[in-house]
């Protein structure tokens, strides 16, 4: 799957970077190397620049550059938030306040 095929909010692992040598080197210098996890943050209104988060950096790239990056999408399980024993109301000094 290509990076340009992901949707906003999707997470993926980079498996290969195939682009012109100068562009490939620039992307790899910014941290887009094999095994890096990234998240798609947003697309521009016309869809051309794509913003991704990678190693704490916000990277913006053109769609044709994103088509040269092969990724494996990470499927996240749906765990309900706010459920579990750690979120009980705590009592001060053993009594209800």
Helices (H) and strands (E) in the chain, counts: 2, 5
* Residues 32-56: tens digit of each pLDDT: 889 999 999 999 888 788 999 988 8
pTM of the model: 0.71
* Right CATH for 3-76 from 2.102.10.10, 2.30.30.90, 2.40.420.20, 1.10.569.10: 2.30.30.90
- Rg (Cα) of the chain, in Å, rounded? 19
Structure tokens at 8: 């906003």
Query: How many residues in total does the chain contain?
Result: 97
* Residues 48-85: tens digit of each pLDDT: 889 999 888 899 999 988 999 999 998 876 656 655 55
What integer pLDDT is reported at residue 56 of this predicted model?
87
82/96 Cα distance (integer angstroms): 21
């Amino acid at each position: 799957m290509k990076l340009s095929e992901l949707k906003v909010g999707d997470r993926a692992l980079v498996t290969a970077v195939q682009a012109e040598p100068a562009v490939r080197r620039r992307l790899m210098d910014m941290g887009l190397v094999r095994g890096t996890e990234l998240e798609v943050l947003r697309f521009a209104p016309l869809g051309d620049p794509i913003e991704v988060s990678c190693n704490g950096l916000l990277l913006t790239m053109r769609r044709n550059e994103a088509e040269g990056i092969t990724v494996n999408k990470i499927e996240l399980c749906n765990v309900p938030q706010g459920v579990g024993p750690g979120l009980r109301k705590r009592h001060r000094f053993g009594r209800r306040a």
